[in-house]
A and B are shown apart, each in its own frame.
Chain A
Amino acid sequence: MNDRTSPALSAVDRPNSYIGRSVPRPNARRLVQGRGQYTDDIAAPARTLYAAFLRSPYAHAQITRIDVAAAKSAAGVALVVTGAELATVCEPWVGVLTHFKGLRSATQYALAVDRVVWQGEPIVGVVAESRALAEDALALIEIDYAELPAVTDPDAALLPDTPVIHAELGSNLAFALNLESGDAEAAFRDAHAVVSGDFRFGRHAPVTLESRSILADFDPSTRRLTVHQSTQTPYQMQDIFARHLRLPQADVRVVAQDVGGSFGMKLHVYGDEMATAAMSVMLGRPVKFVADRLEAFQSDIHARDHRVRARMAVAADGEITGMIVDDITGVGAFSAYPRTSAVEGNQAIRLMGGPYKLRNYQGRLRVVFQNKGLMSQYRAVGHPIACGVTEALVDQAAAAVGLDPLEIRRRNLLTDDVYPYTSPTGYIFERLSHHQCLEKLERLMDYAGLRANQAEARQRGVMRGIGFAAFIEITNPGPAFYGVGGAHITAQDGCVLTLEPSGNLRCAVSVTEQGQGTEAIMAQIAASAVGVPIEHVRVITGDTEATPYGGATWASRGAGIGGETVLITGKALRANLLRLAGVMLQAPAEALDIKDGLIVDAATGQERLSLPELARIAYYRPDTLPQGVQAELSAAHNHVPRGQPFAFTNGIQASHVEVDVETGFVRLLNHWVVEDCGRIINPLLVDEQVRGGVVQGIGAALFEECLYSEQGQLLNGTLADYLVPMAGDMPDIHVEHVSTPTLHSELGAKGAGEAGAAGAAAAVLNAINDALQPLGARLLQIPATPERILRALGKLDAPGRPTSGEE
């Protein structure tokens, strides 16, 4: 925090001069002045048209008649397209990948054909001179529906008398997985105590402040498609647009300038966006579509939606000996494309019990279809489910054997001598730091003091609670990720680093920026690797025409994989420049060094040549170089992590809450996180990643839930009805770190994007239950709304209807 200005390089701290420093983000200055260029801000090309979509009012219905005649002749309308018409231009898709054996989904069209399977599914696209005129025309479309029974409850989805959403699949089961390791039955038979719970994790919405946005511009003269899109991964989308619109990949350019929040939501293929691009192809004109907030709630992927029945076996000394988990998760009407909707559940049951030594594990996963919007990968995929179940059971186990919650964790967390460690579910942990994190947390939060405070408050009838959540976090996905299942999603990243004629560096890299600080971090690494002031580095991201093809930013891979790519490239360019300087100075390259943008004598540090001067000669006076010398002023590298499938990280969180037992309201008093993301490149940015993730986890814990009627109607799909965390409700969040760099890369960086969201909800729910414990109440459902807390306290009548999403 003391190094906010960019300090000059010195001989002492190179090559890591900017690594580990809180360098401010170069793009922040633009954003605070309102100079961002989010997709809807880009000046529309001449003759731009605007799209709007008629969406299904029913969760499940047969379309018996569509009449678009009046819409076609409405003012300003250029095109009206139904699903069948659009399918002639845009190939439909199926959201399966082969590495999820048995995963099934049905053919999904950009616009529904004959049948709608969730409320909000787009049916007809209208393109007009303005969005308002397009919406006016939507009102003139007549559709007759024959409503069909809707499947909403995940448990009911597999019952024999429940309607099957996709008849061709024979059931509503999308994917099933059973894991078994050790002898869980024996562990439970021999247990001193068994604790259990029936957990529910509400379905929640991403609510990126900038909704999904796309401006597609097809030029019929060259048959080239240029798409400005609010996406995390322009490379994946370039491939998708090319294949589904039958264009050569080279003729599709995807540009993602500023992106107003993503969190995994902007990785998936959406029918309305595909239709927008297709309608641009049909019209040969630019077409823009920006989802409004109501459309966002109905059509963005949702997150979570799990019901988990789980048991934990514990020995008398507190040793956790076994865990049996049954997770059923509802993913909506289709498995999402192209990343599927199986990853959330797969990671949830593989992360169960992850921080602990237990060897006996049974996990059962069932992923089911429902007549709801799609559920797919969202920040901390599967993590909060595994962490929520495990950590709640650990607290129950502690109570069952009379141990303090921190002490039972101390006794069971993986110890430093076990690494490398293979978990019962097959995850390989290179080296984690659970005990260091726990000890640091205990000091940071003054645990003993808080317990004293809790006891004193209880005397006054004030119910406070302390909750912990240890977690592991999946980051830096390796070479097999997605590609192994047949997806055209690359696990590698690319960087092209160039010394420009000015002597500055241009760093084109395939990781993208959605506010995490990607551009700042890549500049730090490039500047450090080459040896130049950070102000002399310009980072270019988010344009398939200007940057190398790569994975982009998701799954906490930006710093670890993109950063390593830039580091390798920077070292290569540095070698090029030293070789060239050696020619110019008639010195061996090894005798020279680059410091602070200057070629210096390695031994004395004395300046020999500036980089601008070297660049001037190389670009404008190559005639002065010896015959045969070619100045190599760029370096390009691609990099994919090898050696491990993921770089796991770990940490622990704690929450301090006060529960008003009369109203059921929860006040968050404090929140702490100690995490280990390996080498920290920019402490300021890492802390803010963690804090942001924590608040998203708190949202899931206390507020956020997509509520549906039994007919599959989303009941709270507006920002007035759907609660997200507000500043006034949030506590300060204290973040500290332990640093265990991965040895599988030179940079040593692991990811940090999931950490906060992975454990926050679990810590908050445990804190609530700690507060309620003297009253004999326990809640195993999030969000922990005031109503649910009062029901747990027996202060409200039991609900007449199920409480999972159908209230």
Chain B
Amino acid sequence: MRTISTTILVNGTSVTRQVEPRTHLADFLRGELGLTGTHVGCEHGVCGACTVLMDGATVRACLVLAVQASGREVQTIEGLSAAKHKITQALQEAFCARNALQCGFCTPGLLATATELLTQDPTPSREAIREAISGHYCRCTGYHAIVDAVQQAAAVLATTEEPTR
């Protein structure tokens, strides 16, 4: 099958690969780059497990073709973790402390969305959190602990904000 040269800025590093047009971004990240923290749960854009940040906004990596990400910046859970992204890190701490994950399959995608949420709304209500994460299926937790953890992370971030801000 014909391949297309594709260059994507992934977790701060520019990568160029020959990709088949039919390869979606999640398969590209996992198969070409070994970034297996992006999980494939349904491949039809519903479950949210493959959610990553593209140019800072969440996308379903299973609904974006790798070629469509050409010239864009993509951040996966590995990149957010390595960069010690302040919000993501606070969320990760809170998720662990609150046991807001069980099997952990949905977690990287949820963290991308929760990172986006707290970037836009530093003090979301429980309802706003539930609304924001409703595009992510979690079969283990029942969501309560996830809502708690996002709130907890927001509270921690609020107390550690730079006073000059």
How many angstroms from the CA of A26 to the CA of B130 in the assembled complex?
27
Contact B103 A728 (CB under 8 A): no
Residues of B within 8 A of A693 (CB): 142
Contact B130 A209 (CB under 8 A): no
Q: A34-B37, A293-B41, A728-B131 are in contact. Are A24 and B99 (CB under 8 A)?
A: yes
Contact B145 A209 (CB under 8 A): no
Closest residue of B by beta carbon distance from A208: B139
Contact B108 A34 (CB under 8 A): yes
How many angstroms from the CA of A515 to the CA of B100 in the assembled complex?
11
Q: A28-B95, A28-B96, A691-B141 are in contact. Are A33 and B44 (CB under 8 A)?
A: no
| Interface residues in A676-710 (C-beta closer than 8 Å to B) | 684-685, 688, 691-696
Residues of A within 8 A of B137 (CB): 207, 209, 719, 724, 726
- Candidate in B22, B144, B145 with the most chain A CB atoms within 10 angstroms: B144
- Candidate in B105, B138, B146 with the most chain A CB atoms within 10 angstroms: B105
Contact B104 A692 (CB under 8 A): no
Q: A207-B137, A684-B99, A696-B139 are in contact. Are A293 and B44 (CB under 8 A)?
A: yes
Interface string of B10-46 (1 = CB under 8 A from A): 0000000000101000000010001111111111111
Q: A209-B49, A719-B42, A726-B134 are in contact. Are A28 and B141 (CB under 8 A)?
A: no
Contact B143 A727 (CB under 8 A): yes
Q: A24-B96, A293-B43, A727-B136 are in contact. Are A259 and B143 (CB under 8 A)?
A: no
CB proximity of A74 to chain B, nearest CB, Å: 12
Q: A132-B20, A696-B139, A730-B144 are in contact. Are A28 and B101 (CB under 8 A)?
A: yes
Q: How large is the interface on A (under 10, 10 to 19, 20 to 34, 35 or more residues)?
A: 35 or more
How many angstroms from the CA of A593 to the CA of B88 in the assembled complex?
44
A–B complex contacts, Cβ < 8 Å, 5 sampled: A28-B104, A32-B108, A34-B78, A515-B103, A515-B104
Q: Is B97 an interface residue (CB 8 A)?
A: yes
| Interface residues in A206-264 (C-beta closer than 8 Å to B) | 206-211, 258-263
Residues of A within 8 A of B37 (CB): 33-36
Q: Is A292 an interface residue (CB 8 A)?
A: yes
How many angstroms from the CA of A655 to the CA of B81 in the assembled complex?
39
Size of B's binding interface in residues, CB under 8 A: 57
How many angstroms from the CA of A463 to the CA of B102 in the assembled complex?
36
Q: Is B147 an interface residue (CB 8 A)?
A: yes
Q: Is B87 an interface residue (CB 8 A)?
A: no
Which of A34, A516, A695, A732 meets B76, CB within 8 Å?
A34
Q: Is A579 an interface residue (CB 8 A)?
A: no
Q: Is A13 an interface residue (CB 8 A)?
A: no
How many angstroms from the CA of A27 to the CA of B138 in the assembled complex?
18
Q: Is B69 an interface residue (CB 8 A)?
A: no
Q: Is A41 an interface residue (CB 8 A)?
A: yes
CB proximity of B49 to chain A, nearest CB, Å: 6
Contact B44 A718 (CB under 8 A): yes
Q: A32-B104, A132-B20, A515-B102 are in contact. Are A41 and B42 (CB under 8 A)?
A: no
Residues of A within 8 A of B111 (CB): 32
- Candidate in A34, A36, A733 with the most chain B CB atoms within 10 angstroms: A34
Residues of B within 8 A of A282 (CB): none
Residues of B within 8 A of A258 (CB): 103-104
CB proximity of B107 to chain A, nearest CB, Å: 6
Q: Is A43 an interface residue (CB 8 A)?
A: yes
Q: A210-B105, A293-B43, A688-B102 are in contact. Are A43 and B34 (CB under 8 A)?
A: yes
Contact A688 B78 (CB under 8 A): no
Contact B140 A692 (CB under 8 A): yes
Residues of B within 8 A of A210 (CB): 39, 41, 103, 105
Contact B97 A24 (CB under 8 A): yes
Beyond A34-B81, A261-B139, A727-B134, 7 additional pairs, beta carbon < 8 A: A207-B139, A210-B103, A260-B39, A261-B103, A718-B46, A720-B44, A727-B143
Contact A733 B144 (CB under 8 A): yes
CB proximity of A432 to chain B, nearest CB, Å: 25
How many angstroms from the CA of A211 to the CA of B49 in the assembled complex?
12
Q: A31-B104, A209-B41, A258-B103 are in contact. Are A694 and B142 (CB under 8 A)?
A: yes
Residues of B within 8 A of A421 (CB): none
Contact B42 A38 (CB under 8 A): no
Residues of B within 8 A of A732 (CB): 126, 144, 147
Residues of A within 8 A of B154 (CB): none
